[in-house]
Chain A
Amino acid sequence: MSLQKMTRLRPVRLLSSIHQQPLLLPSTTALSVPRRSVIQGEYRRPGQPRENKLPWQKINFDFSKGLQGIKKHFALLKKEFFDRWVGPQGKPILEHMLEQNRVIWEFRGPECLEQWTLSSDREIGGQSEIYLKLGKNTNTCFLYGTLSSVPPRDGETRYSGYCTMRSKQPLAAFDRKEHYDWTSFNTLHLRVRGDGRPWMINLAAETYFSHQKDDIYSYFLYTRGGPYWQDVKIPFSKFFLTHRGRIQDDQHPVWLDKVNTIGFTLGDKADGPFQLEIDFIGVCKDYAHTEEFAYEVYKRNPEV
Chain B
Amino acid sequence: MNPYILSILLFGLGLGTMTTFASSHWLLAWMGLEINTLAIIPLMAQHHHPRAVEAATKYFLTQAAAAAMLLFASTTNAWLTGQWDIQQMTHPLPITMITLALALKVGLAPLHAWLPEVLQGLDLSTGLILSTWQKLAPFSLLLQMQTSNPTMLILLGLTSTLVGGWGGLNQTQLRKILAYSSIAHLGWMILVMQFSPSLSLLALMTYFIMTFSAFLVFKLNKATNINSLASSWAKMPVITSLTPLILLSLGGLPPLTGFLPKWLILQELAKQALPLTATLAALTALLSLYFYLRLCYAMTLTMSPNNLVGTAPWRLPSFQLTLPLATTTTMTILLLPLAPAATTLMTI
Contact = CB atoms under 8 A, between A and B. Distances in A.
A98 B305 contact: yes
Interface string B126-163: 00000000000000000000000000000000000000
The winner among A212, A250, A255 for most chain B CB atoms within 10 A is: A255
A164 to B, nearest CB: 23
A97 B227 CA distance: 6
B172 A215 contact: no
A93 B53 CA distance: 31
Nearest to A88: B172
Contact of B173 (A83, A183, A208, A215): A183
Contacts of B327: none
B298 A97 contact: yes
B169 interface: yes
B171 A88 contact: yes
A224 interface: no
A100 B185 CA distance: 34
Contacts, number: 64
Contact of B227 (A89, A183, A215): A183
Contacts of A184: 172, 225, 227
B224 A84 contact: no
Contact of A96 (B53, B172, B305, B308): B172
B54 A97 contact: no
Given A89-B170, A208-B50, A252-B49, A183 B302 contact: no
A96 B294 CA distance: 12
Nearest to A85: B169
A252 B227 CA distance: 22
A32 to B, nearest CB: 51
Contact of A207 (B50, B172, B173): B50
Given A93-B298, A207-B50, A209-B54, A257 B173 contact: yes
Interface residues of A, number: 25
B302 A97 contact: yes
Interface in B168-187: 169-173
A181 B169 contact: no
21 contacts: A83-B170, A84-B170, A85-B169, A88-B169, A93-B297, A94-B302, A97-B227, A97-B304, A183-B172, A183-B224, A184-B225, A207-B54, A208-B50, A208-B58, A209-B57, A215-B50, A250-B48, A252-B49, A252-B50, A255-B51, A287-B308
Interface of B: 48-51, 53-54, 57-58, 120, 166, 169-173, 224-227, 230, 294, 297-298, 302, 304-308
